A = this chain, B = another copy of it.
Amino acid sequence: MIAPYTAAVDVTAFDGRPFAARRVRLAAALGDAPALFAAGAARPRNYLANAYPYRASSHFLYLFGLPVRDAWALWDGRAWTVYVPVPDLDAAVWEGPQPGVAELAAALGCDARPVGELAAALMRRPTATIAAPDLETCAEQGRLLSRPIRRGRFEAIDVPLVDAMIAQRLVHDEAAVLELRVAAAATAAAHEAGMKATRPGMRESVVRAAMEAELCARGMTMAYGSIVTVHGEVLHNEQHHNVLDARDLLLADVGAETATGWAGDVTRVWPVSGHYSKTQADLYDVVLRAQQATIKAVKPGARYLDLHNLAARQMAEGLVGLGILRGDPAELCADGVMALLFPHGVGHLLGLDVHDMEDLGDRAGYAPGRTRAGEFGVKFLRLDRDLTAGMAVTIEPGLYLIPALLGNADLAARAKVGDRLDRRRLAQFDDVRGIRIEDDVLVTAAGHEVLSAAIPKARDAVETVMR
């Protein structure tokens, strides 16, 4: 079969119109203030010529759509110009026929010039910028602009640019939503492949390979390091060496990145045996009900922190129902008891980055006037904005039995845990280590749409796929 595929730099098939429209909007926000964008350089693995797969800066991708390595773009206050390396004979031999400057200009729908002309074009005018992902390009940015450029930091001149990018990228246009749908569809194929491949006695890595192969076959990559583990209690587990036991739950947090950089981010948890045990089913349904209630609350005007708290409270209610927690669910959350079992935030922005615009720090994730709280349980919450139509977020509550947290006397004292956590009852759920259920949700005028809805989630649906 011919896998669906989006080629990275196919200039002939490229439709530049959505990107031109984005540039028009950004230019209107910037006015005559110049701004410089860097695509960024390749990042070396062990030596310069052996680089990781190239990933252009999301800001550049947002405005131009093509990952042109080492390219720059300048809004000079009146027009856009892209500055690109000029391919030579060696490039033709090693990398194949490359689009020339004129071809790129035609594809992108704006002027293109050799990169050597950039310095003169800047003419030492004060110019806003955003740091590139790699330090080599940051250093070049600094040389070009005669000021230090540091990732995650902006000077006063940069702030209007940063805020304009945030305002625009927060609300996804039609082309962006299309890419998020492509990412979600590939992510769905990966998760179904993972469920179908799972057998007791395998290594986690075999399931990971089956999932990532679906993305690779489509010309995509992973939006982040895949988590495929029977130790789901390790939140960002990057080990895949464990052998699957029939009693285990397997947690897979795997998402596609399309060829032009848009992310999917989905977590499912399935039983290695193909059937959830009673204890696994009980905790799974606590998380699932909380996730469904939280998704239901996604709509324009909803405050994201309230969604986080809703998910926590719903899970606390479920745990009280199972006899694991005792007391008032709201109090259990407020006091931090619930955070021992649900220590992370309920989700984040999703877009060109899996944590969209995290390079801009909490300035992107937190509305003006709001700041990240320091308490355990919310200190990892990456988003607190009032939702608006066009935003995309993840909703990903989870329950985890983390020895380092459950055994932490200091946290227990601060949360006044006392007898509100029944550790003997919890111990009966010892075939559960971590459960997280995560979907990608687009905020719409009418409320929301779950982009990853095709991926089996109810227990019987998961078991059916695994059969």
Q: Chain A: residues with CB nearer than 8 A to chain B?
A: 1-3, 5, 7-10, 43-53, 55, 57-58, 89, 92-97, 133-136, 139, 151-152, 201-203, 205-206, 208-210, 212-219, 224-225, 231, 233-241, 243, 261, 343, 352-355, 358-359, 402-405, 408
Contacts and interface: CB of A to CB of B under 8 A. Distances in A.
A62 to B, nearest CB: 11
Given A235-B94, A402-B93, A355 B133 contact: no
Integer count of this chain's copies in the complex: 2
Instruction: Name the residue among A45, A95, A237 with the largest chain B CB count within 10 angstroms.
Output: A45
Contacts of A403: 97
27 contacts: A5-B205, A5-B241, A8-B239, A43-B45, A44-B133, A45-B55, A45-B133, A46-B57, A46-B261, A46-B353, A46-B359, A47-B358, A48-B151, A48-B359, A49-B358, A92-B404, A93-B404, A93-B405, A94-B234, A94-B236, A95-B234, A95-B237, A134-B135, A203-B217, A205-B217, A205-B218, A209-B213
Contact of A96 (B53, B134, B205, B239): B239
A216 B212 contact: yes
Given A3-B206, A43-B43, A43-B45, 17 more contacts: A1-B201, A1-B202, A2-B243, A3-B202, A9-B239, A43-B134, A45-B133, A50-B355, A53-B238, A93-B405, A96-B234, A135-B139, A203-B217, A203-B219, A208-B217, A209-B212, A219-B240
Contact of A2 (B7, B202, B213): B202
A180 B217 CA distance: 28
A89 B404 contact: yes
Nearest to A408: B89
Nearest to A237: B96
Contacts of A402: 92-93
A49 B238 CA distance: 13
Contacts of A136: 135
A412 B296 CA distance: 69
B50 A358 contact: yes
A459 to B, nearest CB: 27
A46 B94 contact: no
A14 B7 CA distance: 42
B46 A96 contact: no
Nearest to A226: B216
A96 B1 contact: no
A47 to B, nearest CB: 4
Contacts of A352: 46
Nearest to A56: B46
B133 A7 contact: no
B205 A216 contact: yes
B2 A201 contact: yes
Counting from the closest, the 5 A-B pairs by CB-CB distance are A96-B234, A92-B404, A209-B216, A135-B135, A47-B359
Contacts of A203: 2-3, 5, 217, 219
